[in-house]
Amino acid sequence: MTTNTIGPEAPVPHEFPRILRSDEQLAWMWKPNHLLVHRTDMARYDLHNLKDWIVESTGWSYAQPINRLDRPTSGLVLVARDVEALKLVSEQFAHHTVSKTYLAVVRGWMDDEGIIEKPLPTSHNTTPKEASTTFRTLARAELPFAITRYETSRFSLVECHPNTGRFHQIRLHLKHLKHPIIGDTAHGDKPHNRWFAQNLSQPFLLLHSGELTVQHPLTGESTTVQAPLPHHWKDTLDQLGWSDWFSRFGSEDSAQSGS
């Protein structure tokens, strides 16, 4: 996959999608930033998407993504490898029984933990619906640089658990708290996005789907799989003094756990 500029978005990264784990019913895929999960009418000119990559790279007779990630978001996409698995696991997502863990780098210092409850529209309906996200702050940093009117700049590394599945939920909820995600061109802070792109070569949305726990449709067992952070996170976390967090989420050894 080569680098391409797609409209106003940042370039597609050089990292390829890959299979973290698979069996006869499910596959856990790693998606890089700025790769569509599948073709859409709104992005009909995109040259690449995850579903096409799966079709081209495997001999699987059936492969249907179950969960969706925004194009600029990296991390886990769960794929059904038969119709029954699609039905059973989709029901878990619909009933909010799937545990989802995301990591985000945001502007400012967030509270230690909390729950954001703000109704949001869906991707197909502008009428707001109940939306809830639980968060926990993992680390904070303060850099001696003035990005805006303040003499220093503060950032937080946040773990988010969306309890519902609304369109751009985590991005909008963090913006609601006035802690937008770094690299969010739709809902974020332009001066901070520009500073990260120019000074840390970091033009990407710093939001990553790091872990999913589902009930396996065949065995019924709780199955947890983790997705390593993209490589471009490493320099950013190093600069912010959070190197340990990359080693916890960034190695291939953390790709899966338990089943």
Instruction: Give the tens place of pLDDT for each residue, 34-44.
Output: 999 987 655 55
Domain membership of residue 9 (yes or no) is no
**Residue 247 pLDDT:** 80
SS3 147: coil
Supply the DSSP symbol for 129: B
Token readout for 52 is: 């096409």
Using one digit for the tens of pLDDT, what is the confidence trace for 102-140? 999 999 999 999 999 999 987 777 889 999 999 999 999
The parent domain of residue 54 ranges over: 18-257
Instruction: Kindly list the catalytic residues.
Output: 70
Domain membership of residue 7 (yes or no) is no
> Ramachandran region of residue 57, left (φ > 0), alpha (ψ -120 to 50) or beta?
alpha
Domain membership of residue 8 (yes or no) is no
Beta bridge partners of 30: 18, 76
Sole residue written with tokens 């802070």: 189
Domain membership of residue 2 (yes or no) is no
**Residue 32: exposed, middle, or buried by beta-carbon count in 10 A (0-12, 13-18, 19+)?**
buried
Domain membership of residue 78 (yes or no) is yes
**Residue 15 pLDDT:** 84
Number of domains within the chain: 1
233 Cβ contact partners less than 8 Å away, ≥ 6 residues apart: 206, 208, 246, 250
pLDDT tier at 11, thresholds 50, 70, 90: low
Domain membership of residue 31 (yes or no) is yes
pLDDT at 188 over 50: yes
pLDDT at 193 over 70: yes
Total number of residues shown for the chain = 259
In the chain, how many H helices and how many E strands? 6, 11
> Ramachandran region of residue 7, left (φ > 0), alpha (ψ -120 to 50) or beta?
left
Token readout for 35 is: 């790769």
Structural contact between residues 206 and 236, judged by C-beta atoms closer than 8 angstroms:
yes
Calpha distance 165→155 (Å, rounded) = 26
Q: What is the mean pLDDT of residues 214-228?
A: 95
Calpha distance 142→165 (Å, rounded) = 32
The mean-pLDDT minimum among 8-22, 183-197, 216-230 falls in: 8-22
CATH number at residue 182: 3.30.2350.10
Question: What string of DSSP letters covers 148-199?
Answer: SSSSSEEEEEEEEEESS--TTHHHHHHHHTT-PBTT-TTTS-HHHHHHHHHH
Structural contact between residues 192 and 206, judged by C-beta atoms closer than 8 angstroms:
no
Structural contact between residues 18 and 6, judged by C-beta atoms closer than 8 angstroms:
no
**What type of residue is 249?**
F
Structural contact between residues 197 and 203, judged by C-beta atoms closer than 8 angstroms:
yes
pTM of the predicted model, to two decimals? Answer: 0.89
pLDDT at 9 over 80: no
pLDDT tier at 72, thresholds 50, 70, 90: very high
Calpha distance 36→27 (Å, rounded) = 17
Token readout for 258 is: 């338990």
The mean-pLDDT minimum among 11-25, 30-44, 54-68, 74-88 falls in: 30-44
Sole residue written with tokens 């969306």: 162
Calpha distance 113→247 (Å, rounded) = 23
Domain membership of residue 13 (yes or no) is no
Domain membership of residue 196 (yes or no) is yes
